[in-house]
Amino acid sequence: MARRLRNALLVAVALLWLLPTYLVVVNAFTAADEYVGPRWWFTSFALAENISTAFATADIGQAMWNTFLYSAGSALIAVVVAALASFAVVIMPVRRPVLWFWLIYAGTLLPLQVFLSPLFNAYAATSLYDTQYGMVLIYSALAVPFAFFVVRNYLTTAPKEMREAAQLDGAGWFTMFLRIHLPLARGAMVAAFLFQFLATWNDLLFGITLSTSPNVRPLMAALAELNGQYSGLGPPVILAAGLVASIPTVVLFLSFQRFFVNALRLTP
């Protein structure tokens, strides 16, 4: 009886979560000139036309490429920096490792809105505003603390005997990092990369604050402009663009879901 109740509850929750997705898909297929309100069933199949309109109007293709560059580039940089910092804090004999951990991890404790005003002023006073390398820089900085948290937690489980054996064999810190601990932490690094990739892909806050040009603007900022400046195109066009924007994240999650599960196991 308890098992049936649990399964029924899980089905109900799944249907509740799938309902908004279903409505997005149905209304994205609706022709823009036929849309008079939310549809609950397919009445037309104009998805390709709506996507074409969105891409031509708001330059969604360029925005997707920009976002891929920011997501992949910043996640890669953050994971490498996090791995180096984790190795230094956990494996190397540094003084006050707990203090160093909190100094790095504190970057995740403040709301992102706190950084907007000083970042905007700093970017506006330099050549970083509305540039691709400026966007990669801020996304990398934001991604380091959580990536450090994931990789560091994994390295704490590494046996000390490996370090002692490597030192007896004459291995230096750099050799130990590259040949021993980096391969061991590969799963945690992949999980951290995926988390930060998805977080950057879905970011809107910094995209609309630190960029304006179509060749720099990330995907979510382009969708926001499509919903604002080009709202006259109709909800089906906006929903179709949002549907296309969500496909890479869904594919990525389904393809590497075991790394997400492993990352959750590593975080207390």
* pLDDT given for residue 81 in this prediction: 92
In a domain, 138, yes or no: yes
In a domain, 157, yes or no: yes
Q: Residue written as tokens 């925005």?
A: 63
Give the chain's radius of gyration (CA, Å): 23
**Phi, psi at residue 41, to the nearest 5°?**
-150, 155
Structural domain boundaries enclosing 129: 58-266
Q: What is the pTM of this model?
A: 0.79
Rounded to the nearest 5 degrees, what angle is found at the Cα of 102, between the Cα atoms of 101 and 107? 110
Q: Are 142 and 107 in contact (CB under 8 A)?
A: yes
Separation CA 32–CA 150 (nearest Å)? 45
In a domain, 35, yes or no: no
In a domain, 96, yes or no: yes
In a domain, 68, yes or no: yes
In a domain, 133, yes or no: yes
In a domain, 69, yes or no: yes
Q: What end-to-end distance do the CA atoms of the chain give, in Å?
A: 32
In a domain, 173, yes or no: yes
Question: What's the total number of domains in the chain?
Answer: 1
* pLDDT given for residue 70 in this prediction: 92
Assign residue 146 the CATH number of its domain: 1.10.3720.10
- With 0-12 / 13-18 / 19 or more C-beta atoms within 10 angstroms meaning exposed / middle / buried, residue 260 is middle
CA atoms within 13 A on the CB side of 64: 15
Separation CA 73–CA 250 (nearest Å)? 19
User: Which pLDDT tens digits describe the chain residue by residue (268 residues)?
Assistant: 677 777 778 888 877 877 777 777 777 777 766 666 666 777 777 777 777 877 777 777 888 899 999 999 999 999 999 888 888 888 777 788 788 888 878 777 777 777 888 888 888 888 888 888 889 999 998 888 888 888 888 888 777 767 667 767 676 777 777 777 778 778 888 888 888 898 899 888 888 888 888 888 888 888 887 766 655 666 777 777 778 888 888 887 777 766 666 655 554 4
Separation CA 63–CA 135 (nearest Å)? 13
